[in-house]
Amino acid sequence: MNYQPIKGTHDIYGQEIEKSQYIEELFSAVAELYAYRKIETPILEYTALFQRGTGESSDVVRKEMYTFLDKGERSLTLRPEMTAGIIRSIISNKLYADDLPIKLYSIGPCFRYERPQLGRYRQFKQFSVENLGSDSARTDAETVILAMQCLYMLGFKDLELKINTIGDKESRDAYREALKGYFSSKIDSMCEDCHQRLELNPLRILDCKVPEDQEIAKGAPKIKDYLSDASQDRFALTLSIINDLGIEYEVDDSLVRGLDYYSEMVFEIHAKGENGEDFGAIGGGGHYGGLSKELGGPDLAGVGFAFGLERVLSLADSLHLLDHIKAELDCYMIPMSEKVLNDSFNIVSELRGNGISVDSPLGVQKVGSGLKKAERKGAKFALILGEDELEKGVIQLKDLNKKEQIEVPLEEISEQIEELLEEKEHEHHCCHGDGECHCHDHEKEEE
Ligand code: HAM
């Protein structure tokens, strides 16, 4: 039997893993700039959590969950999104007893039984950010800004921020009635799913992917005509803060988002690849009013968003934002004969002990093939140790980029490499390797 990955899942390895780690670290660092802390919650939760939290009328819960009975006949589900689990964890651990708001971010796999296509998987990774306990238009704005900053820091420039408000409960109740009225006369020509949506929550009809139904939905009433004064004022404040920071946005009055917990402001971020590729929304989120209470916790408002990390990576790759990311290896050690193997082993251990990354075949290697291997592995330096060198108490150190080789006393090797690595780091960040740098350090050297 030839085992293949399950449809809609994929292996991540090679350069992709470096790039994906880089994105995760960068996003985490940005979230931490906004004083968010990391949380990890289980991938498996009781099914009821998503039914109540993510929402029974959402497509995700109705059609896309990986749900099964465990050996104890409990209905469990592989999380289709992270928000419900994070809020559950805040309640289970009474994190709300500390200072409010609670600001958490999380990274991990989610599962949705969807039709796999470009940018759409059955197992995918989310970077999710949640702020619970601050019911303010400013917090809504700050959350959108944080999402945008993550992407700007990665190098994205042309981002499309779509934003809307679906209002408070009163506004949404009025809007639902209006939608019911509009769709009731048209439902006979619409898909089976929309029949159910009309009963459960007519707002969900607006997310229907069937082209004919989307055409009908275009003529539906708009939420903006049903907003309470409070919701309008709140949204105006959020927009003005985002505007003041010079972030461009489009108010998209058809954006309602597919999950049930949202209220007030919702948003999505889109971008296109170098050749116009569209992977769907890179991220989306919004304000949620009653989720914590719905899950048995205190009545605290929240706001958050999640990025689909595969989509972020595909887009960033297509736009060449990650070309500089590759596996890092400081040194490759080439022992030239049996007699130097023990010393070579000890030198490698010493270097690693000093924080220098080293790879070595642990057996004898010819210099020519060793150097080729070192280059293939992306090492910055090769170390060559033969019997002659050992007798003299030295080692050959070759800069694989500059193709320069020097002889270094064994007792100085670690220090020497550390200095050279620092120089390289400096050249990379400040001189861009063009040799025409006028930074303070270099000008001082020239004097
Ligand atoms: P969502 O819009 O369902 O929101 O998902 C967030 C992001 O996850 C999407 O914009 C997309 O990039 C990615 N994504 C979703 N499904 C897939 C898939 N099948 N394959 C690849 N990527 C996918 C949420 O999940 C909310 N929990 C976000 C949130 C947090 N709202 C408030 N707090």
Give pTM, 2 decimals: 0.92
pLDDT at 267: 98
Residue nearest to atom 2 of ligand 1 (CA): 284
Residue nearest to atom 8 of ligand 1 (CA): 308
Ligand 1 site residues (CB inside 6 A) read 81-83, 112, 114, 119-121, 124, 126, 128, 130, 259, 281-286, 304-308, 310-311
pLDDT at 147: 98
pLDDT, tens digit, 9 for 90 and up, residues 195-216 = 999 999 999 999 888 999 999 9
- Distance, CA 370 to ligand 1 centroid (Å)? 46
- Distance, CA 283 to ligand 1 centroid (Å)? 6
What value does the CA radius of gyration of the chain take, rounded to a whole number of Å? 28
Q: List per-residue pLDDT tens for the chain, 447 residues long.
A: 789 999 999 999 999 999 999 999 999 999 999 999 999 999 999 999 999 999 999 999 999 999 999 999 999 999 999 999 999 999 999 999 989 999 999 999 999 999 999 999 999 999 999 999 999 999 999 999 999 999 999 999 999 999 999 999 999 999 999 999 999 999 999 999 999 999 999 999 998 889 999 999 999 999 999 999 999 999 999 999 999 999 999 999 999 999 999 999 999 999 998 888 888 899 999 999 999 999 999 999 999 999 999 999 999 999 999 999 988 899 999 999 999 999 999 999 999 999 999 999 989 999 999 999 999 999 999 999 999 999 999 999 999 999 999 999 999 999 999 999 999 888 876 655 455 555 555 555 555
pLDDT at 426: 84
Amino acid sitting at position 232: Q
**Torsions phi, psi of 332, nearest 5?**
-125, 125
pLDDT at 326: 86
Among 110, 118, 126, 166, which residue has the most ligand 1 atoms within 8 Å of its CB, making it the best to mutate?
126
Cβ neighbours of 325 (radius 10 Å): 17
Query: Which residue do the tokens 């928000």 mark?
Result: 83
pLDDT, tens digit, 9 for 90 and up, residues 268-281 = 999 998 888 888 89
Would you say 179 and 203 are in contact if contact means Cβ atoms under 8 Å apart?
yes
pLDDT at 327: 86
pLDDT at 278: 87
- Distance, CA 70 to ligand 1 centroid (Å)? 26
Ligand 1 atom at minimal distance to the Cα of residue 279: 12
Ligand 1 atom at minimal distance to the Cα of residue 257: 2
